A and B are shown apart, each in its own frame.
Chain A
Amino acid sequence: MPWRKAEKNMEANTSVPVSEEDRRLKISLKNVFKVFGERPDKALAMVKSGKSKTEIHAETGCAIGVNDASFDVKDGEIFVIMGLSGSGKSTLLRLLNRLIEPTAGSIEIDGRDITKMSRKELIDVRRRDISMVFQSFALLPNRTVLNNAAFGLEVAGVGEAERTEKAMVALRAVGLEGYADSRPNQLSGGMKQRVGLARALASEPTILLMDEAFSALDPLIRTEMQDELVRLQAEHSRTIVFVSHDLDEAMRIGDRICIMQNGSVIQVGTPDEIVTQPANDYVRSFFRNVDVTQVFKAGDIARQTQVTIIDRQGVSVAAALERMQNFDREYAIVLGRDKKYHGMVSQTSLVEKVRTGSTDPYRNAFLADIEPIAASEPLATVLGRVAGSTWPLPVVDEQGRYVGSISKSVLLETLDRAS
C-alpha cells in the first residue's frame, strides 16, 4: 500500500530506517487522542487549538491521557512504549485493544480500523488476534494454572479437549507443564508471569500487548523473562507491543522504542537512534544512567583495523608476513574467501611454523584459545574476555563471517565516550 508509506514519511516525530520500510504494517495509529472526563468534545477542541493541559483541566475538568499519537508498528517487531509513570503509556496500550475507548483518531490493525468496530467484531479480534500480559499477572485465583492458560480459548468457545491440548503446548513453551494442576497462589512471581505469558500465547495471537509485564519481578528474574520473551519471539514471530518504564529493558528487547511524555509521543526509533540522536532533554535524561554495556552489542563496536589475510592456496607466508610488517601489526586475522573467520596468527607463530617446516603453515600457526565473539552478544558479557586477552578478539556474525575486532583500546574508548 504505497499511500500509507507516503503518509508515514510525513510524520515529523517518527524516524523509520529505510531498510525497514518494506516490512508489512501491523498496527497503525493516526492522530489518536484519549480524553478522560465528562466533556471530552470540548477538551478535544481545546487540545487541537493548542491549549495547555492545565488550561483544559481548569476549564473542562478533563485530563488528556493520550495526545495526538501517530506511529506504526511493523509485523513481527518488538515495539517498546516507554515513559515515566503518568506519561500515558499504559493508556496508549489499552487503546490498542479498546480496553479504553479512544476519544478520536484511527487505530488500524491489519488494515482494519478497530475504533469503528462493533462490540461483536471487537470481541472477535480480542479472541483471535490480540492478547495481553499484565503487570500484576491478573491470573484468576479460582482456576488452576492449566485453566488459566486455557482461559482465552474457553471464552472463545473452543472445546475442552482442544483447549487443554493448546494450553498444555503453551505451558510447555514457557517451561511450566509440570505445574498444570497448581493454583496461581502456589507459584513464585516469575512463574506466575510465565503462566500469564502462556495464557496470552495459547490462542496463538498475532499481537501481544505487554503492560509492564516484568516490572513486578526482581531484577534477576526480569532478565530471565526478557530472554525468554526474545527466545519465544525467535521461535514464533509475533508483533509485540511492550510497555516499560525501564530503558535498560527497552534497549535489551526492543526493535524500536517509542518515548512518551505527558501523553505525547516524543520520539520513535531504534535503540541506537534514541541513544545517538535523542529528540530532547527528556529523552536524554532517560539514558543518563543507562548501562552502555547493555545497549551496545559486540558487533556495534568491532572495528576492521586489523590486518586480514585471505586463506587460499598459493599465497606465500612471506607475503603475509610482509603485509603485517608494513602495517606494523603483530597479529593478523585469517579469513576464507567467503569472509568466514578461520583463525588468527601472530608474526612469531607464523615465523616459527615456517622454520619448523610444517605443511600448511597458516593453519598450524593459528593461535590457540581464541574464541570469536558473536556480534549479537551484549558488550556487558564480553567485557571480561576482551580485558583479559592479550590479543584483540575477533567478532563474527551468525554466518561466521568476520565483522571486525575489539581491542582493549576500542573498549576503553567506548566506555569513555558513554560516560
Chain B
Amino acid sequence: MNFDIGDGVDTIVNYILDNFSPALEGIAAIIGFVTDGIQDTLAALPMLVGLAIFVLLSLWRVGTGFAVFTGVALWLVDTMGLWPAMMETLSLVIASTVIAMLIGLPLGIAMAAKDSVASSIRPVLDLMQTMPAFVYLIPAAMFFGLGAVPGTIATVIFSMPPVVRLTNLGIRQVDVEFVEAGQAFGCTASQLLFKVQLPNALPSIMAGINQTIMLSLSMVVIASMIGAGGLGNTVLTGIQRLDVGTGFEGGLAVVILAVVLDRITQSFGKERPVFWRTFFPKAARQQTEQAPA
C-alpha cells in the first residue's frame, strides 16, 4: 500500500491558501505590527545608548568582568559596521521570544495540570524541534510572503518547545509539600498556580526562556533566506559571494549577541541584588548595618 503524504500536504497548503487568506493576512498584520514596532524602536536607538543599556544590564545581573566584555564586544560589532544589522536581529529575537512565551507558558501550564494534555502536546513539540527548518520556511513564505513576518513565525515554531517543556517540568517538580501546603491553607486552583507553583518553578521557566532565546537566535539567521533581514543577511551575502571575511564578521556578531543575551537572561533565574544596590553598594551597606538595631 502506498500513501502519498507529500501530495496530501500540498493539497492542504493550497486549500489553506485558497480559503483562509483573510485570516492569514490578519495574523500577518498582528505579527508585523509587533515586529515592526520593536524593530523601529531599536533602530531609532543611538548606538551609544544601546551599548550603555547592555553594559548596565551586564553589571547588574552578571558582574564587573562581564560588563567589560559586553562593552568591548559590542563596540567591536559597531566597528565592523554591523550594529544596525544586529539591532534588526535582536528585534526579531525579541518579537519571536515574546510570541513564543505568550503561547508557550500557558501551554506548559496546561501540560503540567493534566497528563492527557501533556501526552498529546509532547509529540507536537518533538515535531517542531526536529523537522528541518527549511521544510516549514517554504510554506511560511507562501502563507505570509517574504520578510520579517514569516521569519518570526518560523522562528517561533522552532524556538517555542523549550519554554513549553521546561514550564511543564518546572511546575511538576515543585516540592509536593509546597503544593500540599498551598492546598492545606485553602488555595483555589489559580491561587495555587500563581502563589505557589509558578514562583517555585521560576528557575526552570527562566532556563526555558533562555533556551528559547538561544534557539531563536540560531533560527533568525536561517530565516534571512526568506528575507527576514539582520545579521543573517550578512552571513548569507558572505556565502553567496564566497566572501569568507564578510561571512565571518556576521557570524562573529551573532556569537557576541548570543553570549551577551545568554548570560543576562540566565541570571534572571538566580537571586541577584536589587538594581540600585549594585550601583550604590555604600547605601546598601548602611542599610544592612542599621537593620539589626
Q: Do A and B share a complex?
A: yes
B178 within 8 A of partner (CB): yes
Contact among B185, B200, B202 for A151, CB-based, below 8 A: B185
A138 touches B188 (CB 8 A): no
Across the interface, do A152 and B185 meet the contact criterion of CB distance under 8 Å? yes
The answer to whether B186 touches A152 (Cβ under 8 A) is yes
Q: Chain B: which residue is nearest A136 at the CB level?
A: B177
**Cβ of B243 under 8 Å from chain A:** no
Smallest CB-CB separation from A178: which chain B residue? B292
- From 111 to 149 in chain A, residues with beta carbon under 8 angstroms from any chain B beta carbon are 123-124, 126-127, 130-132, 134-138, 140-142
User: Which residues in A have their C-beta under 8 angstroms from that of B199?
Assistant: 140, 142
Which residues on the B side are within 8 Å of A152 (C-beta)?
185-186
CB contact under 8 A between A140 and B196, given known A123-B188, A134-B177, A155-B191: yes
CA distance A97 to B184 in the complex (A): 7
Contacts A155-B191, A155-B195 given; indicate if A142 touches B184 (C-beta within 8 A): no
Are the CB atoms of A126 and B177 closer together than 8 Å? no
Is the C-beta of A99 less than 8 angstroms from some C-beta in chain B? yes
Q: How many contacts between A and B, using CB within 8 angstroms?
A: 61
Give the size category of A's interface with B. 20 to 34
Q: What A residues does B183 contact at CB under 8 A?
A: 99, 126
Contact of B180 among A127, A138, A155 (CB under 8 A): A138
Q: Does B187 contact A (CB under 8 A)?
A: yes
Q: Report yes or no: A132 in contact with B181, Cβ–Cβ below 8 A.
A: yes
Q: How far is A127 from B182 in the complex, measured between Cα atoms in Å?
A: 11
Q: Assess the B186–A138 pair: CB atoms within 8 A.
A: no
**B200 in contact with A155 (CB, 8 Å):** no
Give the residue name and chain of the A residue nearest to B199 (CB): A142
Complex A-B, nearest 6 residue pairs according to Cβ-Cβ distance, in ascending order: A127-B186, A138-B177, A126-B186, A152-B185, A132-B184, A138-B181
**B202: A residues at CB distance < 8 A:** 142
Known: A138-B175, A156-B186. 19 other contacts (CB 8 A): A97-B184, A99-B183, A99-B184, A123-B188, A124-B186, A126-B185, A126-B186, A130-B184, A132-B180, A134-B181, A142-B202, A151-B181, A152-B186, A155-B186, A155-B187, A155-B191, A155-B195, A199-B185, A209-B184
Residue with the greatest number of chain A CB neighbours at <10 A, chosen from B175, B185, B188, B200: B185
Q: Which of A123, A132, A140, A203 contacts B200 (CB 8 A)?
A: A140
Q: Which of B175, B184, B196, B200 contacts A131 (CB 8 A)?
A: B184
A285 to B: closest C-beta gap in Å: 30
By the criterion CB–CB under 8 Å, are A141 and B200 in contact? yes
Which residues of B are at the interface with A, using a C-beta cutoff of 8 A?
A: 175, 177-178, 180-188, 191, 195-196, 199-200, 202, 291
Count chain A CB atoms within 10 A of each CB in B182, B186, B191, B195 and give the residue with the most: B186
- With contacts A134-B177, A141-B200, A142-B200 taken as known, whether A126 is within 8 angstroms of B184 at the C-beta atoms is yes
Q: What is the CB-to-nearest-CB distance from B171 to chain A, in angstroms, rounded to a whole number?
A: 14
A199, B187: Cα distance in complex, Å: 14
Complex interface: chain A residues within 8 A of B177 (CB): 134-138
Q: How far is the CB of B268 from chain A (nearest CB, A)?
A: 14
Judge whether A134 and B180 touch: CB under 8 Å: yes
Complex: A97 Cα to B186 Cα, angstroms: 10
Beta-carbon contact of A127 and B185 below 8 Å:
yes
For B202, give the chain A residue with the smallest CB separation.
Answer: A142
Q: In the bound complex, what is the Cα–Cα distance between A181 and B290 (angstroms)? A: 14
Give A124 to B186 CA distance when docked, in angstroms: 7
Q: Cα distance A209–B185 when bound, in Å?
A: 11
Q: In the bound complex, what is the Cα–Cα distance between A123 and B181 (angstroms)?
A: 13
CB distance from A176 to the nearest CB of B (A): 15
> Once bound together, how far apart are the Cα atoms of A238 and B71, in whole Å?
62
Q: Which residues of B contact A131 (CB under 8 A)?
A: 184-185
Residues of A within 8 A of B195 (CB): 140, 151, 154-155
Q: Which residues of B sit under 8 angstroms from A141, Cβ to Cβ? A: 200
**Taking the nearest CB of chain A, how far is it from the CB of B116, in angstroms?**
15
- Sample (8) of A-B pairs whose CB atoms are under 8 Å apart: A127-B185, A130-B184, A134-B181, A136-B177, A140-B181, A142-B202, A154-B195, A155-B185
Q: How far is the CB of A131 from chain B (nearest CB, A)?
A: 6
Residues from chain A with a CB closer than 8 A to the CB of B180 are 94, 99, 132, 134, 138
Looking at the assembled complex, report how far the CB atom of B289 sits from the nearest CB atom of chain A, in whole angstroms.
15
